Amino acid sequence: MRTTAMLLFLLPALALAGTPPWPEQPVLMLQPGMQQVVSKQAVLEQLAEGFHWAEGPVAEPDSGDILFSDVPQNTVYRWSAQHGLTVYLQPSGYTGLYPDNNLQEGANGLIFNHDGQLVLAQHGDRRLAVLQSSAEKPQYHTLISRYNGKPLNSPNDVVQHSSGAYYFTDPPYGLKGADKSAQKQQSINGVYRLQRDGQITLLASHLTRPNGLAFSPDEQWLYVANSDPAAAQWWRYPVNSDGTLGEGKLFFDATAAAKMASGLPDGLKVLPSGILLATGPGGVWVLSAKGEHLGTIQTGVAAANVALSADNSWLYITASRYLLRIKLLQG
């Protein structure tokens, strides 16, 4: 879900001086359907700032608090309306499992599974893990760390199917040197399924930088972002009855737009209406289930990922050094 650390240093000078980099009216309306999702008058609210690369927001089921990662800082934070910002997990994704030539990056994508446990896509430890204890020194249990007997690259984002299976992406962002890293043992950057019995299956291998992913509300489709500047795209795959994926089709190509604005296809969520909220060039793209670009919530800096409140009334956005939110019209 992280694109490149260089984006952190491309913030407008005004942002560094204290003026937010996003416009006062950030909602760009391109199609009438955008009015069903967010008001044209809606504004971005800054909840916290000062991170190296904020990622992977998720709403905690019981409290509604937002957990999110700062990947380079190996930290997961908690934000609550009552208490503000606090450190929740440190380390979050690198505990020393692979010490050689390791970027020592933390967790990226976060979800709560069907049992209410926090599941983390851990870059540094190259695994999917579940949090066992959030005490002073967090303890994690490995869900999967290998495919065909070799370490995964650096799991990036994860979703859970109603069957209990996890679907996750495995680009090389957590490896020093990425595809050229001596530590890279998988020949591809894959999309995988981890079944409840521990069996792992490679589902897609053609994407160069598979990243964020989300199911359609009826789970008939799996959307996957590809965070490659040369192929900045969203893909859609039919989900077969056995949980495998059918042939993927290009859903939307934002490569041209990526040359004009910071950010790439990254994390995404799907509203009950089937509308996608997908981070991309310039902010959060709103895409219909037919692949129409309805509009963009402009963040002024590269947006990495999004999370919805339990009632879908708020969209939380991690964008470079910021945690933001904007009021939705409950799509």
Asked if residue 20 is part of any domain, the answer here is no
Which residues of the chain are under the pLDDT cut of 70?
A: 1-17, 330-331
Tell me if residue 34 falls in helix, strand or coil: helix
CATH number, domain with residue 35 = 2.120.10.30
| 112, 137, 151, 196 from 127: Cα distances, Å | 16, 18, 8, 16
Token pair of 184, please? 């890279």
- The DSSP secondary-structure symbol of 68 reads E
**For position 189, what pLDDT does the model report?**
98
Residues 243, 195: Cα–Cα separation, whole Å: 9
Q: Decide if 5 is inside a domain.
A: no
Does 17 reside within a domain? no
Helix (H/G/I), strand (E/B), else coil: 13: helix
- Structurally, how many domains does the chain consist of? 1
Residue 227 has, within 13 A of its CA and on its CB side, a CA count of: 31
160 lies in a domain?
yes
Determine the 3-state secondary structure of 50 from DSSP: coil
Torsion of CA 272, 274, 279, 280, to 10 degrees: -170
The answer to the question of residue 246 being in a domain is yes
In a domain, 238, yes or no: yes
For residue 14, the model assigns a pLDDT of 40
**Considering the domain boundaries, does residue 4 fall inside one?**
no
CA angle 49, 53, 54 (to 5 degrees): 60
For residue 43, is it within any domain? yes
- Which structural domain range is residue 233 located in? 25-327
Tokens of 113: 């599974």
CA dihedral 243, 246, 248, 249 (to 10 degrees): -120
Give the pLDDT confidence score for residue 10 in this predicted structure.
40
Q: What end-to-end distance do the CA atoms of the chain give, in Å?
A: 24
Q: What pLDDT is attached to residue 101?
A: 84
Task: Give the model's pLDDT for residue 16.
Answer: 46
